[in-house]
Structure 1
Amino acid sequence: MLFLQNLTYTHPNKDLLFDNINLTINRQDKIALIGNNGAGKSTLLKIMAGVLQPSGGAMQVDTVPYYIPQLFGQYNDITVAQALQIEKRLKALHEILDGNVTEENLTVLNDDWTIEERSMDALIHWGLEALDLHRKMDTLSGGQKTKVFLAGIAIHQPEIVLLDEPSNHLDRAGRELLYEFIASASCTLIVVSHDRKLLNLLDTVCELSKRGITVYGGNYDFYREQKMIESNALDQDIRSKEKALRKARETERETAEKQQKLDARGKKKQEKAGLPTISMNTFRNNAEKSTARMKGVHAEKVDAISQGLNELRKELPDMDKMKLGFDNSTLHKGKILFTANDINYQYGEHLLWKEPLTFQITSGERIALKGLNGSGKTTLINIILGSLEPTSGIASRADNRTVYIDQDYSLIDNNLQVYEQAQRFNDAALQEHEIKTRLTRFLFTKDYWDKPCSALSGGEKMRLMLCCLTISDKTPDIIVLDEPTNNLDIQNIEILTVAVNEYKGTLIVVSHDEYFLEQINVERILELY
């Protein structure tokens, strides 16, 4: 069991990341830990792993968790065996087999006579058949490093496993193996991930936010349903508050008008009665004081309702504030944009595809481009974009405007400031205040306008890129998304999903994220071999 009580973490610069975190995780629980970027998910996982110490509160755990980090740079200078913490046992085993049967070697081995065989079997299971345990970690790809640590689960057989974005670097085959492990695991799992297919395999969602941890007793789809219910209730509250504000302002105006009429009528009566000036002044002062009191009462009520409304609006999901607003009138559904007739591409003496490719792309289609690493997805994209020509066959392109969005968001110039980047897309000659209004709508307030693009996170770059597309008055005929969700948290994936679903042009997507492909309504698959 793992138990967190009033846990607090403060950065070394004294900034508070989270506080008052309370959570109980029981044996064989399968927990999804989600939250926006910067909420502290990875930090909380490191505290559970014992890598970081909390600033306050307490943590109790009855076993040592097995931790798989998101980044592996700290392991680059050591071997696979050292990263898996099995090097000493392997060395002791081989020395014993060579006849050096010492007390020290027997103690280190601790009767684990199958350590080498078990390690090789685990690596083979994760597709690392030829991997030498003495190979340096820095020679491996990101996906291979992830698989090494996933193999360590079978080697060590821990009771608690902590996983930080485990599917980030995995190809489709690797992800399927990961999903199988998650579904069949009997150990306790705590997973930080933006992979919605993976999250749906977990039994409980824990959302980390400024309010602490909120527990939802179900998988990710259940969590989304609950959030939708909360969102609908929030919308209803906002509408009710807006109605109350209109009513309060109307009552305030009517009361003021009624008071003015009463004051005017009273003044006429006083004048007709021929009251002395001093009495007239007294009546007038009393009337003014009464009017002021009434105005104050209504103003307080209007201010209170208005303040409550603003607080409710702050709780609106960010994606509800962002709209692409493309002019889709120039997009002609069904127009042939690209035709491939028996095309192939040659690298050296080898053709890239076993069979030449023949296909068409028409306006309005949503296409997923799939294939293993090295199957030529990037090459085909470049041929579609016109930056490459096939070695054989014919590629025909209609005049069109294409936007290519890669996982590093290279459309964003890191040498520019945020406002300068937006200005670069200002084909429509928008005024400065209009550009800044668009930036604010995409959550780039004035604190961001002079910030260098190089300092933005992956999610911020994605939002800035979407904002730039709204500033441009040229609606693209084709948008190509190349692994667009790799560096995004769930919130920003949802923002991207909403934005993409507003777009009515042709969409070509390279992604291992099956849930994302489903959400953006991909209707056709081009599989490369």
Structure 2
Amino acid sequence: MPASITLSKISWATPDGRPLFSDLDLSFGPERSGLIGRNGVGKTTLLKLVSGDIQPQSGTLSVSGSLGLLRQSVQVAPNETIADLFGVVGALGLLHRAEAGAATADELSAADWTLEARMAAALDRIGLDAEPQTRLAALSGGQRTRAGLAALVFTEPDFLLLDEPTNNLDREGRDAVIALISGWRAGAIIVSHDRELLESMDAIVELTSLGATRYGGNWSQYRERKALELAAAEHDLADAEKRLAEVARKAQATVERQARRDSAGRKMAVKGGIPRIMLGGMKERSETTGGDNARLAERRRAAAQEDAKAAREKIEILQPLSVRLPPTGLAANKTVLKMEGVTAGYRPDDPVIGDLSFAVTGPERIAVTGPNGSGKTTLLSLLTGELRPWAGTVAVMTGFAMLDQKVSLLDPSGSIRDNFRRINPQADENTCRAALARFVFRADAALQVVSTLGGGQLLRAGLACVLGSAPPPLLILDEPTNHLDIDSISAVEAGLRAYDGALIVVSHDERFLENIGIERRLELAGGEPVG
């Protein structure tokens, strides 16, 4: 029987009573399905339901086949090793005793002589050069993610359940995960905002406030379908609004005709040309006809309003953000920053950056790339003045803003609106509200306290506060797409495309770098001189 996962009439709400799913019907077969949707819509919750970590409050869920779950973060104990992660400590110990001639006959018959080769193959498949005895605490976060994925592949499950598997991975790690998934021939449900990874899917399942929709094909095919749906929704909205106007016009015309007939009847009555009994009948018919017409008009108006509301809801989900920003006034020949012969680090005689020289002129867009540990964050710390170089000079010659992954420039205890006014003291309330609205913080949404925002909202709020009124000539971003949903990434891309200043961004997301118009790259190698 083919492996399958079926959800039928599933309902689930958060502990505070907010419904995430209501009568959700979904099925997954032996194919790679990308699970997408805005942050907070329930993607991780759906994985937890499928894996059995939580139970549905109503409905049924059936799983045929084995599951392998990779969560967003791999928590490790201080002495835990890759062998622990694979669950083979005892089996490896048996092999080592056998090799030393200390195993009993019964143990020898139970030994798995292919174990080490299969472990090595699983680690190699995910591009991780490590031994079974390697402590997980000695690995970077990205390497632990890859080790966890290798351990899943080792068990050969019928379904992989992966929650943002390429988060925090450098280019090499992302390539390894994408290659693994591209060659995976069993089932997989993958929560991801990585559009490059989503290109290797067989299907895209989108969760929205309206429910779940399955689209056959990869990310590009999904986007084509969504563009068609957006055009259809816009057509439906225009048609519903046209019908609303037509219903109102016809209702008014009907009222006016009835008023003319009633007026004519009253004039005849005044002249005495109509018997009293007929006048009573005419009045009753007029009142009945008027009531019938009003009820008919109200039904038509309600139907058109409902159609318009449904179309607007779809457009709200489908419509990409478009942002217009004030100009920075940065001249094309203006030297923005210059680094000359810079060497820096955190421990004596162990430089992270060595003899680095580069300059930025005018509104250049530069990506800082390199493997994890190569010094990307160190470089940003040098540019912002948080770290002083051991040798060489760093000069930033314009105003700038830095948005790190935590968007530290925002006060978490204040509202988005209050942060905007603090960062842009020259802006009045109208300017503030208009700028925040451009980043979809309209009305009461602008009054949300920063500490309550999700990752995507947080970065969008940071961009709104920095770019919304008087953008600085230089913007520095550190891994801006980590933990963002695709809609939030699109919002960030829209904002950065509209920005006309200089841009320095650390990111491993190639699609993001392409979409924001990166012109130049600075590749770091960790303590190595860079030309």
Partner of 1:454: 451
233-242 or 289-298, which deviates more? 289-298
Does the alignment pair 1:25 with 2:42? no
**Counterpart residue identity of residue 506, structure 1:** A
**What CA distance in whole angstroms lies between the structure 1 residues aligned with 2:225 and 2:377?**
39
Query: 1:145 and 1:171 mapped to 2: Cα distance?
Result: 13
Write out aligned runs for 1:242-391 (5 A): 242-273=241-272, 287=286, 290-318=289-317, 320=319, 323-328=322-327, 330-332=328-330, 334-340=332-338, 342-347=340-345, 348-349=348-349, 352-363=352-363, 365-385=364-384
Report the Cα distance in structure 1 between the residues aligned to 2:302 and 2:310, rounded to whole angstroms: 12
Q: Distance in 2 between matches of 1:113 and 1:79?
A: 20
State the partner residue of 1:67: 69
C-alpha separation in 2, matches of 1:97 and 1:289: 100
Shift of 1:37: 2.5
In 1, the alpha carbon distance for the partners of 2:270 and 2:211 equals: 67
2:419 maps to 1:416: no
Deviations 1:29-77 (A, max 9, x none): 2222223323333333344445444454131323x22322212237667
Partner residue in 2 for 1:484: 480
CA distance in 2 between counterparts of 1:312 and 1:456 reads 28
Partner of 2:528: none
**1:361 Cα offset (Å):** 2.8
Counterparts of 1:7 and 1:70 in 2: how far apart (Å)? 27
Q: Distance in 2 between matches of 1:384 and 1:333?
A: 20
- Equivalent residue number for residue 468 of structure 1: 465
Q: Deviations over 1:186-208 (max 9, x none)?
A: 44333221111111112222223
Question: Which AA in structure 1 matches 2:29?
Answer: I
SS of match in other structure, 2:315: coil
1:518 aligns with 2:521: no
Instruction: Return the letter of the residue paired with 1:90.
Output: L
Q: Contact conserved, 2:367 with 2:506, CA < 8 A, in 1?
A: yes
- TM-aligned CA deviation for residue 337 of structure 1: 4.3
SS of the aligned residue for 2:410 comes to coil
The answer for unaligned runs of 5 or more in structure 1 is none
Measure, in 2, the Cα distance between the counterparts of 1:128 and 1:104. Answer: 34
Find the residue that maps to 1:515 and give its secondary structure: helix
Cα 1:449/1:9, change in 2 over 3 Å: same
Q: CA deviation at 1:117?
A: 4.6
| Aligned mates of 1:129, 1:437 — CA distance in 2 | 49
Name the SS of the counterpart of 2:306 in structure 1: helix
CA RMSD of aligned residues (A): 3.6
Q: Structure 2 counterpart of 1:21, which letter?
A: D
Evaluate the alpha carbon distance shift between residue 146 and residue 245 of structure 1 in structure 2; reply closer, same or farther with a 3 A threshold: same
- Paired residues of 1:366 and 1:507 also in contact (CA < 8 A): yes
Match of 2:496 in 1: 500
Letter of the 2:24 counterpart: N
Q: Which moved more, 1:307-316 or 1:317-326?
A: 317-326
Instruction: List runs of 5+ in structure 2 lacking aligned partners.
Output: 526-531
Going from structure 1 to structure 2, the CA distance change for 1:375 and 1:30 (only over 3 Å counts) comes to: same
Secondary structure at 1:37 match in 2: coil
Code of the residue aligned with 2:10 in structure 1: it is T
Pairing partner for 1:44 from 43, 46, 59: 46
Which stretch of structure 1 is more off in the superposition, 169-178 or 519-528?
A: 519-528
Cα deviation per residue 1:387-409 (whole Å; 9 max; x = unaligned)? Answer: 56655555554443x23222222
Q: Deviations over 1:215-267 (max 9, x none)?
A: 22211111111111111111111112122222222333344344444444443
SS at match of 1:228: helix
Alignment partners' CA distance in 2, 1:290 and 1:411 = 66
Aligned mates of 1:269, 1:142 — CA distance in 2? 91
The residue that corresponds to 2:205 in the other structure is: 206
Alpha carbons of structure 1 residues 104 and 469: separation in structure 2 relative to 1, 3 Å: farther
- Shift of residue 441 of structure 1? 7.3
TM-score (norm 2): 0.84
Aligned equivalent of 1:88: 90
Query: Is residue 5–residue 21 contact of structure 1 (8 Å, CA) maintained in 2?
Result: yes
SS in 2 for 1:298: helix
The 1:159/1:288 distance shift into structure 2, 3 A limit, reads closer
Q: 1:58 to 1:336 in 2, by over 3 A?
A: same
- Could you tell me how far apart the structure 2 residues matched to 1:438 and 1:340 are? 33
Pairing 1:1-16 to 2, within 5 Å after superposition? 1-6=3-8, 8=10, 10=12, 13=15, 16=19
Quote the sequence identity (%): 31
Cα distance, 1:20–1:258 mapped onto 2, change above 3 Å? same
Q: Is the 8 A contact 1:407 1:487 kept in 2?
A: no
Q: How far 1:325 moved relative to its partner?
A: 3.6
Give 1:282 deviation, angstroms.
Answer: 7.2
Partner of 2:133: 133
Q: Would you say how many aligned residue pairs link Structure 1 and Structure 2?
A: 518
Could you say if the C-alpha distance between residues 32 and 322 of structure 1 is closer, same or farther in structure 2, counting changes exceeding 3 Å? closer
How many angstroms apart in 1 are the aligned matches of 2:393 and 2:134?
Answer: 48
Residue number in structure 2 paired with 1:97: 99
CA contact (8 A) 2:36 2:43 kept: yes
Partner of 2:112: 112
Distance 1:376 1:338, change over 3 A: farther
Per the TM alignment, residue 184 of structure 1 is displaced from its structure 2 partner at its CA by 2.6
Change over 3 Å in CA distance of 1:504–1:134 after alignment to 2: closer
Separation in 2, partners of 1:462, 1:350: 33
User: d(CA) in 2 for partners of 1:389 and 1:57?
Assistant: 59
